[in-house]
Amino acid sequence: MKKEEIPHDLGALGKITKEVCYVVDESGKYTTQLSEGWKVKAEALDVAWEDVQARIAVAREKVLAGEASPILLFMEYRLMDVGIVSAYTGFWKWTIKRHMKPDVFKRLSDDKLKKYAMAFETSVEDLKNMNVHEA
């Protein structure tokens, strides 16, 4: 892409950050230039976030239906998988999967709940009640 062809469509992150692009300058050499965004990329991000919101909604419904524990909801909300939660909490992956069962979750000790709460950047009470807050 040439220096004068850099997109400057204000995207979702345009007011927060700029993206570094590699461009060809007037002498034909590669250099870097800042871009405020690109409409195509912003639309792709919007689609991805819609997918994330749908996964959160499905997780919430599973918890409310008694099919999963709040751990699933917080994992989806924080964009984590079992491996990441395992790394943050020190629990084995199979243990986390077991803790995602509502009846097992209800019997977890306060110490275990605190580990999950710290990993999800919330309180134990909010974890139990599915109160999701921005970090």
User: 1 falls in which pLDDT band (50, 70, 90)?
Assistant: low
Kindly list the domain boundaries of the chain, sorted by start residue: 3-37, 41-129
DSSP secondary structure, the chain, as one string: -BGGG--B---TTTTT--EEEEEE-TTS-EEEEEE-B-HHHHHHHHHHHHHHHHHHHHHHHHHHTTSS-HHHHHHHHTT--HHHHHHHH---HHHHHHHTSHHHHHT--HHHHHHHHHHTTS-HHHHHHT-----
State how far the Cα of 40 lies from the Cα of 87, in Å rounded to an integer: 35
Report whether 8 contacts 36 (CB < 8 A): yes
Mean pLDDT of 52-56: 96
User: 78 falls in which pLDDT band (50, 70, 90)?
Assistant: very high
- pLDDT tens across 3-38, in order? 676 666 676 666 677 778 888 888 888 988 887 777
Whole-prediction pTM value?
0.75
Between 52 and 12, name the one with better pLDDT: 52
Output the pLDDT for position 134: 64
Those residues whose C-beta lies under 8 Å from the C-beta of residue 123, and which sit 6 or more positions away, are 117
User: 96 falls in which pLDDT band (50, 70, 90)?
Assistant: very high
Output the pLDDT for position 117: 97
User: 110 falls in which pLDDT band (50, 70, 90)?
Assistant: very high
- Quote the tokens at residue 64: 């409310």
Say if residue 41's pLDDT is above 80.
no
Between 12 and 135, name the one with better pLDDT: 12
